[in-house]
Structures are given as structure tokens and as C-alpha cells.
Structure 1
């Protein structure tokens, strides 16, 4: 199960599970990178 992702801005996002990771990543994108949206599959592809 993938629970970590590193944003190119330097932010490391950690979720309790894949659903939490996707939610936190999408929230980070909305707040810090407006206009950059990724699907669940795209996020999990980049996660580790």
C-alpha cells in the first residue's frame, strides 16, 4: 500500500492509507498549486 508522495515543491505528504493520501494530496494541490489537478490513479502512480 502506497502512503507517501513527494511534491516537487518539497512538501512530503503522508497518508494513513491510499484514500487518505489521495485526499491530502488533492487538498495540497488545491491550496498550494491552483490549476494542477490529478486523478486518484495519477497520484497513486507517483506515490511510494
Structure 2
């Protein structure tokens, strides 16, 4: 995703200001916004089963 498109979406949809966007780490924002079902945290119960 292009930085300008991201800024436009953040301004329109998230109601951020340009200073909000400029003060954030771009890579971290992109990682968060591109998260999907494969990025879910593991269920603690499922993790516990692995070590029983």
C-alpha cells in the first residue's frame, strides 16, 4: 500500500490528523492494518495442550 493512500484512508476513515500519522512508525502501522486471521494470538488453552 502506498503511503499517500494509507494517509488518505487514515484521514477519512480513522479521523486521524496528519500529525497523528507523521508521529507513528509506518512499518508498524502497515503491519497492523494488513493483519488477517493468520496473525491471531494463540489461545492459551491450545498452547497448554502442546506442553502436556
- From the two aligned structures, give the one with the greater strand fraction: 1
TM-score norm. by structure 1 comes to 0.39
Larger RCO: 1 or 2 (CA < 8 Å, sep 6+): 1
- From the two aligned structures, give the one with the greater helix fraction: 2
The structure with the largest alpha-carbon Rg is 2
